[in-house]
Structure 1
Amino acid sequence: MTNTPLTGGRFDRRGFLKTGAAALAATGLARPALAQSRTIKIGMVMPQTGPLAFFSEHVEFVLNQMQKATGGVLNIDGRQIAYEILLRDSQSNPNRASEVASELILDQEVDLIIAAATPETTVPVSDMCELNGIPCVTNDTPIEPYFFARGGDPDVGFEWTNHYFFSGQQSAGTLLKMFGQIESNKMVGALWPNDGDGNAFAEAYPPLFDSLGYGLSDPGRFDMPLSSYAAAVSQFKADEVELIYGVIPPPEFTTFWNEAAQQKFQPKAVYAGKTVQFPAALEPFGARAEGLVTEVWWAPVYPYASTITGQTAKELADEYEAVSGRQWSMPLGFRHSIFEVIFDGLKRAQDLDDPASIQEAFNTTDLTTVCGPIDFRTGPFPNTCTTPTAGGQWVKGEKYPLDLVICDNLTAPEVEIERQVQPLTY
């Protein structure tokens, strides 16, 4: 009698599937791919509520796009294979992200999981998939926080998880190049919290700043929510900071930016990751949002098209605005492209009943999506890859209150520069 395989005292679904497949093969009932009657189950974890909810504003639109484009089925080797997407809310909480990922794996028995939006989502979900031997594809987290927050070894990597987005080196290079376009004393104020992004930035960036001749004023790690940033603002003023490099979500940036105005702290350039990528998060500031800078992961000017709908980046953004009544923002391209990646992999998998076969297909992805080329063999770490990343600045808009213009293309040379960075005005 075959024992039920276990991992760490838990039911090992991967081992069960392999054992079951072997048993079927022995009886002559095995099929070369997925049985037509079974539906592929895709788990999806996103922060739909909480401070990171801006990252999920495109999810419903993209899910509707997928349904319209595919009818809920994938054409695999001439057969119509149905798929189902099980969406779960992480509530912007890493513990909750881990819980719902576990439920999707153990209770819903999904075949794979996709997730996005900061280390607070992608790290716990990826870890849960790694533990249970379930293929996982994630994006929208800088690669270093994603990898090192999980204890990753660059020489080994992970077996069951794939990730694509910009790297910290790309982001820092782009932002510092934009900082360099304006005249300043090169004194940077850091707003790096006690979380995956903040800790990674605090470890990696000071040596880089020093090597490029930038000074650093760092008030230290802090837990969020933080009721007041007055102490940080006071330190920045005392240190004559003229450039802000932060990574805090919209509620935190609102507190900081309002207290900066109260203390008449007027830096020449400000970057706040997790906030400045979203026009809806910046609109409440009115003219005080004009001039904020950001790395640009994706925009309508990107010269790529979807492998699912055939839409160019601009056509995708235009459709989103027409359907939702909201302005496009960067995560739209990544919400769409993650389905390009997994659908491509599922179509190439040799055996859809074998998680290892699906994982192998993901590992060998070589696909140009609406966000750009995705090839997990290119690194910088095993089963990861970087995507083109430009730099931009928010300016007074025409159709919407704010428009984003491209100011740097250091790591996205195919994206055209539209103007030079201008210092903030007060």
Structure 2
Amino acid sequence: MNKKTHNIAHLNRRGFLKAGAASAAAVGLYSPAFAAERTIKIGMVMPQTGPLAFFSEHVDFVLGQVQKATGGQLTIDGRQYPFEILLRDSQSNPNRASEVAAQLILDEGVDLMIAAATPETTVPVSDMCELNGVPCVTNDTPLEPYFQARGGDPDVGFEWTNHFFFSGTQSAGTNLNMFGQIASDKMVGALWPNDGDGNAFAQSYPPLFDSLGYGLSDPGRFDMPLSSYAAAVSQFKADGVDLIYGVIPPPEFTTFWNEAAQQKFQPKLVYAGKTVQFPAAIEPFGARAEGLITEVWWAPSYPYASTMTGQSSQELADEYEAASGRQWSMPLAYRHSLFEVIFDGLKRVQDLDDPASIQAAFNETDMVSVVGPINFQTGPLPNTCMTPTAGGQWVKGDKFPLNLVICDNEFAPEVPVQGEVQPLTY
């Protein structure tokens, strides 16, 4: 890596100053009004480029919120400490995520790490922190892929890493609830690649589908990028598939959905994790995006507020849309909540120079964030927390091309249902 990319760009009260390459931007937050002998270093790894870049579109906005809310200072045990955030790009590649995490730990000496966005980011970063004894908090990866891909033992867990997000039980449950709201032949087509999510889905979901009376057409694991999904589409047509359950990023879904149209394959409902959560990823399909379904990790209608800014979920979405000109999407609140959780934990730290003290403070987390309650003692897996998850369907919008309507709330009863699922139209 070019040495320039390690330079730390400081933030003063007048705003952000960016330095270094975009793939390895380092951001320093501080307030020159208060001198301290100790600066807290926070490493942050996100897929800012590559097929998973949609997961990072809110990062700059959230960093601006952090600066505005804190002034670059945290109060710990009655004393104020400056902190800096060193942001690195995983480039949507797990090997790169591991590499930059190692650099943050070994070269930059970070005190703690945060990361998000699919197993391709959270797993290698968490593993690197576990190896080096660095406290780490992650989100935005279903609990099972996060835990299983790391070879986790449910009776033991991990020592240095904490994670919060929805579980496969919630995701499958709410999507199957939405499948059940329409008349179908209950034949599911699987698009499960050879990656952390896909392998976890292939291990966990077939018995669930079978127990609920769903048939399964599974073309098998595949490596991405895949130049054509024509063979999978042909198999789905031959097997009478009318429901799609996939987990593929936007470039892959584009290939699949276009080839489905070419072969006149017309399923009644389609779920494709890593894509359907992002309005910007599906808007290019026009009317063909209307009716796609997704689990809903967070939405403006969620009844939670931020401990960092005091904003309601609706106010957070409104501020983002006003500042960016773009529609809110689910990762916004999860990028925001990472800082809520680590700031909450840092306030309890007894000794900043002792990583075990930082980790102990994180383990004791018991708070309500903008995405819901966070308590790493509740599981269902060690050092994890399952957050509320609803189900929704994209419909034609007014302010933006698409609007997400909540259609199922079994796993988030506090979130109001706004409508019923309708089958796709062609």
Q: TM-score, normalised by structure 2?
A: 0.92
- 1:348 alignment partner, SS class: coil
Residues 84-123 of structure 1 correspond to what in structure 2 (within 5 A)?
84-123=84-123
Q: Give the whole-Å Cα distance in 2 for the aligned partners of 1:178 and 1:36.
A: 54
Q: Give the whole-Å Cα distance in 2 for the aligned partners of 1:343 and 1:158.
A: 21
Q: 2:243 — aligned with what?
A: 243
Q: Give the whole-Å Cα distance in 2 for the aligned partners of 1:315 and 1:322.
A: 10
Q: 2:422 — aligned with what?
A: 422
Q: 2:229 — aligned with what?
A: 229
Q: Give the whole-Å Cα distance in 2 for the aligned partners of 1:372 and 1:237.
A: 40
Residues 114-153 of structure 1 correspond to what in structure 2 (within 5 A)?
114-153=114-153
Q: Deviations over 1:125-179 (max 9, x none)?
A: 0000000000000000000000010000000000000000000011000000000
- 1:237 alignment partner, SS class: helix
Residue type of the alignment partner of 2:156: V
Residue type of the alignment partner of 1:345: G
| CA contact 2:38–2:82 (8 Å) conserved in 1 | yes
Q: 2:75 — aligned with what?
A: 75
- 1:341 alignment partner, SS class: helix
Q: What's the offset of the Cα at 1:78?
A: 2.4
Residue type of the alignment partner of 1:323: A
Q: 1:24 — aligned with what?
A: none
- 1:410 alignment partner, SS class: coil
Q: 1:263 — aligned with what?
A: 263
Q: What's the offset of the Cα at 1:37?
A: 1.1
User: How big is the alpha-carbon RMSD for the aligned residues of Structure 1 and Structure 2?
Assistant: 0.7
- 1:367 alignment partner, SS class: strand
Residues 136-215 of structure 1 correspond to what in structure 2 (within 5 A)?
136-215=136-215
Residue type of the alignment partner of 1:49: T
Work out whether 1:326 is the aligned partner of 2:326.
yes
Residue type of the alignment partner of 2:187: M
Q: What's the offset of the Cα at 1:332?
A: 0.3
- 2:425 alignment partner, SS class: coil
Residue type of the alignment partner of 1:395: V
Q: What's the offset of the Cα at 1:287?
A: 0.3
Count how many residue pairs are aligned between Structure 1 and Structure 2: 392
| CA contact 2:379–2:385 (8 Å) conserved in 1 | yes
Residue type of the alignment partner of 1:213: G
Q: 1:393 — aligned with what?
A: 393
Q: Give the whole-Å Cα distance in 1 for the aligned partners of 2:382 and 2:359.
A: 13
Q: What's the offset of the Cα at 1:415?
A: 0.1
Q: What's the offset of the Cα at 1:81?
A: 0.7
| CA contact 2:77–2:350 (8 Å) conserved in 1 | no
Q: What's the offset of the Cα at 1:232?
A: 0.2
- 1:197 alignment partner, SS class: helix
The runs of at least 4 aligned residues of structure 1 exceeding 6 Å deviation read none
Q: Deviations over 1:283-303 (max 9, x none)?
A: 100000000000000000000
Residue type of the alignment partner of 2:303: P
Q: 2:409 — aligned with what?
A: 409
Q: Give the whole-Å Cα distance in 2 for the aligned partners of 1:331 and 1:202.
A: 25
Q: Give the whole-Å Cα distance in 2 for the aligned partners of 1:37 and 1:323.
A: 35
Residue type of the alignment partner of 1:257: W
Q: More displaced, 387-396 or 76-85?
A: 76-85
Q: Deviations over 1:187-235 (max 9, x none)?
A: 0000000000000000000000000000000000000000000000000
Q: 2:65 — aligned with what?
A: 65
Q: Give the whole-Å Cα distance in 1 for the aligned partners of 2:304 and 2:205.
A: 31
Q: Give the whole-Å Cα distance in 2 for the aligned partners of 1:347 and 1:382.
A: 23
Q: Deviations over 1:216-264 (max 9, x none)?
A: 0000000000000000000000000000000000000000000000000
- 1:267 alignment partner, SS class: coil
Q: Deviations over 1:105-144 (max 9, x none)?
A: 0000000000000000000000000000000000000000
Residue type of the alignment partner of 1:222: F
Q: Give the whole-Å Cα distance in 2 for the aligned partners of 1:51 and 1:173.
A: 27
- 2:409 alignment partner, SS class: strand
Q: Give the whole-Å Cα distance in 1 for the aligned partners of 2:397 and 2:327.
A: 11
Work out whether 1:275 is the aligned partner of 2:275.
yes
In structure 2, runs of 5+ residues without a counterpart are 1-34
* Structure number with larger C-alpha Rg: 1
Q: What's the offset of the Cα at 1:80?
A: 1.3
Q: 1:349 — aligned with what?
A: 349
- 1:48 alignment partner, SS class: coil
Q: What's the offset of the Cα at 1:349?
A: 1.0
Identity %: 84
Q: TM-score, normalised by structure 1?
A: 0.92
Q: What's the offset of the Cα at 1:77?
A: 2.5
Q: Give the whole-Å Cα distance in 1 for the aligned partners of 2:37 and 2:112.
A: 18
- 1:419 alignment partner, SS class: coil
| CA contact 2:76–2:349 (8 Å) conserved in 1 | no
- 2:256 alignment partner, SS class: helix
| CA contact 2:45–2:97 (8 Å) conserved in 1 | yes
Q: What's the offset of the Cα at 1:38?
A: 1.1
Q: Give the whole-Å Cα distance in 2 for the aligned partners of 1:286 and 1:82.
A: 47
Q: Deviations over 1:16-36 (max 9, x none)?
A: xxxxxxxxxxxxxxxxxxx93
In structure 1, runs of 5+ residues without a counterpart are 1-34
- 2:153 alignment partner, SS class: coil
Residue type of the alignment partner of 1:83: F
Residue type of the alignment partner of 1:234: S
Residues 16-35 of structure 1 correspond to what in structure 2 (within 5 A)?
none
